[in-house]
Structure 1
Amino acid sequence: MQEKENIEFHGQPAVKVVERFEGPETMSAYIEAIGFLYGQAEYVIHITGTHEPSASQRKRIDEILSTFKFIDSTDTSDWKTYRNEEYGYEFKYPSSWARLEERNPIFNDHLPDSRRYLAIYPESFPSQDISAHIDVYRAPFTAVKLDNHELVYTLPPSEVTTNGVVWLKFQSTDNLGNELNTFTYYTERGGKTYHVGGAGEQVHQILSTFRFFETGNNNVFDVTAVKTGDKIVGLEARTVAPFSVVPDFPLGPDNARVVFFGTVILEGEYRALTGELLGGYLCFAPSATSQAHIPVMRGDGRDISFCFSDQDVAHSLLNAERGRVTIEVEDYVINSYPAEVFNEAELRRVLIKDFSGE
């Protein structure tokens, strides 16, 4: 006979299983097991005997379990700290690791063009090989998982909580289903997906001290202070100039053209404009969450929205007058002037269509 219940064990979600085997005195058995996750490992505490514990025995067992605790045997006092101010996370890593390097993707990497990632080179690996990597996608996990080739050969995912962060854990397999010592972890925060992947030892060392910190609203910028090459929420300013060069009307929130380089994934609604001049023109309004991933000029009181720069491509990919979608765009442009102007971006692809209609 088996009994199973979900419990809490020293602040960790746990499962308690009790099995009783009735038989002659020498063949009866009582087995109690408490299983839980701590860090990246699974633990099971067994309590066994020929009979269920008596009241006095149960009291002693509970006293022992009440004092149970983990002792962190890893000395991190000489570890270094990596801190990313743009995306608001940090972690410690052994000082013996060779280097951490922010890299641009190459043609066969799993990230789109223009998006940088953190490559990690531990001491025990040749300098040309990375052992782990950290990526941040400006998109929800539902969109990210459509692209990531690392999820092709994996075991079913499980949830793991480390330092208060809930991760979705995948373990890689080969094409025959054999387990590999390669792991991929995902967590979603503020509309972004954080991804830690690589060899088991290095990934688990990263996650053991990984934490988030608040960075504030860093998508708002001062157009009179921003310079070419500056990055706003991961997009690089390539052109900063007045929209129109006229006397006594300098660069400012009401007279600006700022061209950004880079890609971003957004959720929201698109629709075709009406009217004689711009009738049928497709434009996009990001959701409240996605708006945080788009640069915004301080002092620009307009709604956060844009129209697609290549309307033929937009009509071909969207194929409807309105709808709710998840899309990837690039080369976002802010146009501001006291006239009928609008922001724009190039539509690269449509990832998810939630609905569409005439």
Structure 2
Amino acid sequence: MTLATGQLELFTSDNTNVITQIPTTKPKVISLFCGCGGFDYGFHQAGYHIVFANDIDSAVEKTYRKNLGEITIKDIKEIDKNTLPDCDVILAGIPCQPFSSAGNRNSVNDERGGLFQQVIETIKAKNPQIVVFENVRGFLSAKDENGLKMPDRIALEFKKIGYKLYFQLLNASDYEVPQNRYRVFLLGVRNDLSLAYRFPFPIFKKANLVVKEIIEKPLPLDEEKDVWDLSPQALHLAKFIPPGGSWKNVPDEELPDRLKKIRQNIKKYRSPNFYRRFNLDEIMGTITAAATPEHSGILHPLENRRYSVREIARFQSFPDDFKFVGCTTAQKYKMIGNAVPCRLAFHLAKSIKLQYFSDI
């Protein structure tokens, strides 16, 4: 269907498509902990204007500049929040490790958890209508230093500064992302905006999200295959793992001693599924920043290698004209794995725009 300028195709909970008008003025966004720009790119696609972006990792600088524009590489603690441009929305992909179920589960007193307070200072200084946080699934059960669950703690902190909190666990594959990736999104709405936020309905069109659809696409004409080599051990084990398989397919005599020990008492180790290799007709699992074959499904189904940079970028729904430049191959895997999937960000941004910015 061809849409007229200023129109947008939406989907309801029963997958019925409707056409609606969208606003033409661009809401202004400040993006904190922006990384290479997955979150920002989705908002850009939805018609927002990124007026300030910040990250501490210099490896993302050239990629962000090439695809999105200006970025300030600086510790957020060293930034005077009052000098930032005015904005309508603040995005904050706070580093997730303090709240991860695989991490040490410290809270806002953790050095990285304390970055939340830097976001609060930014909110106080700029008073945006909307604030959006993204974090890992474990955030829902993580607790602060007083034993209060983190969503409740965030809600209390937001209430102090005049915002209502809404949060929901979303799966990226419900929003046109070829990856089963569960993340918590928290949305703060300024008290003077009376409308309660409604998260976007899932889009039930998953036939084109399977691994086969991603890896069979040719590379962009201006790119060569960029692949981070496997370790000798991972390369050896991969030879025994079929599409859809894992380390459980590897003969005992081929396993390293550590994995033999785990296999001998697999219930004790909660039946881990190391060296997962997704099949062609499956939706990819979570792309991680570490990209380790032992702990993620990073193994290509048909070749004994990791997925290439472009392949994992596609799993994260980055378009092929989004280029990763100015850093090592390993750094590209990390920045892509850390990103919010672009299409998920787009659908979230679109829902916010229609609910709160349709009259600007």
- TM value normalised by structure 2: 0.30
Q: Which has the higher contact order (CA 8 A, sep 6+)?
A: 2
Greater share of residues in strand:
1
- TM value normalised by structure 1: 0.30
Greater share of residues in helix:
2
